[in-house]
Amino acid sequence: MSSEARGPDAPSAAAAVVPRPGFRMPAIPARYLSSGFITLILVVGQYFFDIIGGYERLLLALGTAILVELVLSRLLRGSWPVLLSAYISGNSVAILTKPAGGLLWPFWLGSFLAISSKYVLTYRNRHLWNPTNFSICALLLIAPNSMSVLSHQWGNDKSIVYILLAVGTIVVWRARLLHITASYVLAFVALAGLRAAIFGALPEYAGYSWLTRFTTEIAPLTGAMYMLLIFFMLTDPRTVVGTVRGRILVTVLIALVEFGIRLLPLAPWRGLDLLLTAPPLFALFAVGPIALWRDLRAQAPAR
């Protein structure tokens, strides 16, 4: 998820700790807040809801992420990495991966793909995909019979969501990335309203009020998976574009692509229905790298 890039190799995040006038937060760098946040999610989720489903899964995901980061950083960059990034990636893979039939390979393979994608899928020394987003989407596309995402929904407990919302908002605010989270949420809500209006024209929705349809469409946003999306993946400092306006534009684009994916059930063909398994993740998977590539290309001439 996002905070891979809040490691020491993420200057934009580190530099983002700027206190606001009138209110001073303790001077904790954003990257530590992010890793603390993912740890909070993991501990609370595991304690109350067994979200990992077995500590061997966590061990495999986390161990692989750290090992691959160590090896690839040493071999390809000649330096020892700070492991906060791998720590967050490993945890994220462990939380999001819900494989079939007690399979364990998606955990180590997911972490391997996440970390190695940072070294392999690059443009001008920047990785284009959010590592966890790439890993999860790649596995969903290549191995759909073995893979699903976060089937556990934290008991559908709204109090947990409130806690995550509160802590997550503080974390992205401290990283000066709250505009991304806010613009996504606003875009999602607006587009959910539009979908509700579109569905109102369908005969099977006869008798549904707009508000009821809207409630159905907005429901996913209240789930735990979206907390991970809006506070980590979308706000990954290493995979977002450079300007605030650009970030907002890209975020809205992601919401728009997700909107399109969510309308696929209305299409006369079923070829893309696999995307319905995780619409926001696939939207980010598609839009994020293109936007970053264009941004990097525009920023400086190729070396």
Partner 1 sequence: MVSRPLLLTGTRLVFVGALGFAWWADGTTSRSIATGTADITRYGFVLRDVSAEAGIDFHHEPTRLDPIIANVEPHVAAMGAAISICDVDGDGWQDLYATTSAFGRRNALYRNLRNGRFEDVAERAGLADLNREGEGASMGSVWADLDNDGDQDLYIYKWGYAQLFRNDGALHFTDITEAAGLHRWMNSNSAVWLDYDRDGLLDLYVAGYFPETLDLWHLKTTKIMHDSFEFATNGGHNVLWHNLGPGADGVPHFEDVTAATGCDSTRWTLALAAADFDGDGWQDLYLANDYGPEELFRNVHGERFELASVGLGEDSKSGMSVAVGDARNDGRLGTFVTNISKAGYLFQGNNLRLNLLDHGGGFENVAQGVVADCGWAWGAQFGDLNNDGWQDLFVVNGFISADREQDYWYDMGKVAGGSGNLFADTRNWAPIGGKSLSGYERSRVLLNQAGRTFLDVAAAVGATDEYDGRAIALGDLWNRGVLDVVIANQHGPLLVYRNDVLPERGWIGFHLQGEASNRDAIGAQVTLDFGDYRQAQVVEGGSGFCSQNDLRLHFGIGAATSVKQAVIRWPSGREQVLPSPEPGRLHLVREPQ
Q: Is 56 in the site for partner 1 (CB under 8 A)?
A: no
Using CB under 8 A as the binding rule, whether residue 204 contacts partner 1 is answered as: yes
Name the DSSP class of 65: H
Residue closer to partner 1 by CB (options 35, 64) is 64
Using the rule CB under 8 A, is 281 a contact of partner 1? no
Distance in Å, CB of 69 to partner 1, minimum: 13
Name the nearest CA neighbour of 64 among 94, 40, 36, 33: 94
Q: Please name which of 58, 144, 50 lies closest in space to residue 93, comparing C-alpha atoms.
A: 58
Q: Which of 32, 44, 215, 249 binds partner 1 (CB under 8 A)?
A: 215
Q: Counting Cβ atoms within 10 Å, is residue 255 exposed (0-12), middle (13-18) or buried (19+)? A: buried
Listed residue (48, 24, 51, 13) closest to 232, CA to CA: 13
Burial class (CB in 10 A: 0-12, 13-18, 19+), 237: buried
277 binds partner 1 (CB under 8 A): yes
Among 15, 43, 76, 197, which residue interacts with partner 1 (rule: CB under 8 A)? 76
Per rule CB under 8 A, is residue 138 in the interface with partner 1?
yes
Q: Work out which of 4, 9, 217, 295 binds partner 1, going by CB under 8 A.
A: 217
Q: How far apart are CA 203 and CA 142, in angstroms?
A: 36
Q: Which of 156, 127, 171 is nearest to 38 (CA)?
A: 171
Position among 276, 290, 294, 299 found at the interface with partner 1 (CB under 8 A): 276
Spatial CA neighbour of 234 closest among 217, 258, 198, 203: 258
Taking CB under 8 A as the binding criterion, the range among 14-22, 23-31, 218-226, 244-252 that sits at the site for partner 1 is 218-226
The reply on whether position 90 binds partner 1 by CB under 8 A is no
DSSP 20: B
User: Quick one: tokens of 12?
Assistant: 């934009």
- Of 80, 155, 166, 210, the one binding partner 1 (CB under 8 A) is 155
**One residue of 39, 151, 243, 299 binding partner 1 per CB under 8 A:** 151
**Using the rule CB under 8 A, is 38 a contact of partner 1?**
no
Name which of 28, 27, 35 is nearest 6 in CA terms.
35
Judged by the rule CB under 8 A, the positions of this chain that interact with partner 1 are 49-50, 72, 75-76, 78, 98-103, 105-106, 109, 112-113, 116-117, 119-120, 138-140, 142-148, 151-158, 160-161, 199, 204-205, 207-208, 212, 215-217, 219-220, 222-226, 265, 270, 273-274, 276-277
